[in-house]
Amino acid sequence: MHIIKILVDDKSFARMMQGLRVEGTVGFNLKTMMGDLNAFNRLPRTRYRDKLLKKTPWGWVKKSLTKTKHFSAIPSNLTLEDKLDILEMEHELNKQTLIDQELINRV
């Protein structure tokens, strides 16, 4: 059995002293005869929130990094004709919102 000295950075050493695990790789340098711990830098992912473009009477229109989203929630106690009218109105509002946003971005 051999004893190998391992170089550890301060952040990893602090985690070890707290009794936590440190994930990473250990390399061995033949010139210094010491190991070197390269800890994985695991950062939490930052979630980008959607930007609300317009709040409509029955839903909303939002812009994310990759997509434009529209949502409509219509009460189920309405007649089919009323539901279709609301859907058409929402669709027109969504189209107008996208046109307005494009005009704002071009100016």
pLDDT of residue 44: 83
CA distances from 12 to 6, 17, 22, 62 (A): 12, 9, 6, 41
**CA dist., res. 5 & res. 76, Å (int):** 70
Rg of the chain on CA atoms, in Å = 28
Hey, what are 30's tokens? 């033949």
The predicted-structure confidence for 29-70, as pLDDT tens digits, reads as follows: 888 888 888 888 878 888 899 999 999 999 999 999 999 999
The predicted-structure confidence for 90-99, as pLDDT tens digits, reads as follows: 999 999 999 9
pLDDT of residue 2: 81
pLDDT of residue 3: 84
Q: Which amino acid is at 86?
A: I
The model carries a pTM of 0.56
pLDDT of residue 31: 87
